[in-house]
Chain A
Amino acid sequence: MALLHPSTRRLREWLETPPGAEPDAGVEEHVSHCERCADELEALDATAEVGVGETSEVRVALQEVLAPPTGLEQRMEDRIEAALLARRDLKLLAGLMGVSIETTRLLMEPPEEPRS
């Protein structure tokens, strides 16, 4: 890490690098390890945070594009139950065959597609 702290002006320019433009690599490298400059950037950050429970446009948009689908929890319960049952069956089969689960899994895997 460079020892000299970037000036406030350089920090602001780095923070405000427009999308698509290359940020100042020296500042980038320095600020990712310097607590003092990270604190200064926090003070300079114009996208000041809102508190938990309040909304910001970025938060609302993130909630929109990353919303979990309906019925996710039930689907997870069903899929995990099926996976555990399959694993239990595999264990049982391995016991009957007297081989390890890994060996059983390998034996039960479909053959690889021939490479063209």
Chain B
Amino acid sequence: MDLDEAEQLRLLVREYSAAIYRVALSIVRDSALAEDVTQDTLMKAWQALPGFRGESSLRSWVLRIAHNTAISTLRKRRDVLADPNTLPERETRGSVERDAQDRAVMAEFTQALEELDELSRSIVVLRELEHQSYEEIATTLDLPLPTVKTRLFRARRKLAHALEGWK
């Protein structure tokens, strides 16, 4: 690995680790597994970088790799764990000072998020946290534009419903 390659890798890690992790975690629902997916995605993106043709933004391209890697990791995992109830459960992250009511709402929100299908979870994360446009999401996930919009509206509504008790 020469200096340029090392610098490229470092830039990818610094620029995209958090975004990749969020997409991965929304799909695999397990923090350790999400870190594995983040590492795999960064290495794949770095190795494929010379072939990146710039047809989408670099961010979209990297997040597409993240989405595909997370889905494939989850499938492999499901093959191993025949019982879907043994899939990793996402713990609710919570700050110490949060009161019981807020924790309950956040647990309900987490459950609502997990009840969405994987594609809808990715769409919501790309829109709400990565601030991608509908068109960018369609490119990132290789979906028709109406699918992106309709899944997003429904998913966001379900999540908002889970937050009704939140002040």
Q: Please report A residues at the B interface, Cβ cutoff 8 Å.
A: 15-19, 23, 31-35, 37-39, 41-42, 45-47, 52, 56-59, 61-69, 72-73, 75-77, 79-80, 83-84
A73 x B14 contact (CB < 8 A): yes
User: How many A-B Cβ pairs are below 8 Å?
Assistant: 119
Main secondary structure of the interface of A (DSSP, over half): helix
Q: Which residues of A contact B31 (CB under 8 A)?
A: 69
B154 x A76 contact (CB < 8 A): no
B68 beta carbon closer than 8 Å to chain A: no
B17 beta carbon closer than 8 Å to chain A: yes
Residue of A17, A35, A57, A68 with most partner-chain B CB within 10 A: A68
A80 x B149 contact (CB < 8 A): no
B140 beta carbon closer than 8 Å to chain A: no
B22 x A68 contact (CB < 8 A): yes
- The docked-state distance in angstroms from the alpha carbon of A42 to that of B162 is 21
B128 x A59 contact (CB < 8 A): yes
Q: Which residues of A contact B39 (CB under 8 A)?
A: 76, 79-80, 83
Stretch at the interface among B48-56, B69-77, B79-87, B105-113: B105-113
Pick 7 A–B contacts, CB within 8 A, sort by A: A15-B153, A38-B150, A66-B21, A72-B18, A76-B17, A76-B38, A80-B9
Q: Which residues of A contact B145 (CB under 8 A)?
A: 35, 38
Main secondary structure of the interface of B (DSSP, over half): helix
- The docked-state distance in angstroms from the alpha carbon of A38 to that of B153 is 9
Nearest CB in chain A: distance from B58 CB, A: 17
- The docked-state distance in angstroms from the alpha carbon of A57 to that of B108 is 14
- The docked-state distance in angstroms from the alpha carbon of A47 to that of B149 is 13
- The docked-state distance in angstroms from the alpha carbon of A46 to that of B1 is 52
With contacts A33-B146, A65-B92, A76-B39 taken as known, whether A15 is within 8 angstroms of B157 at the C-beta atoms is yes
With contacts A16-B157, A31-B146, A72-B21 taken as known, whether A62 is within 8 angstroms of B125 at the C-beta atoms is yes
With contacts A19-B112, A38-B146, A52-B131 taken as known, whether A65 is within 8 angstroms of B13 at the C-beta atoms is no
- The docked-state distance in angstroms from the alpha carbon of A33 to that of B125 is 21
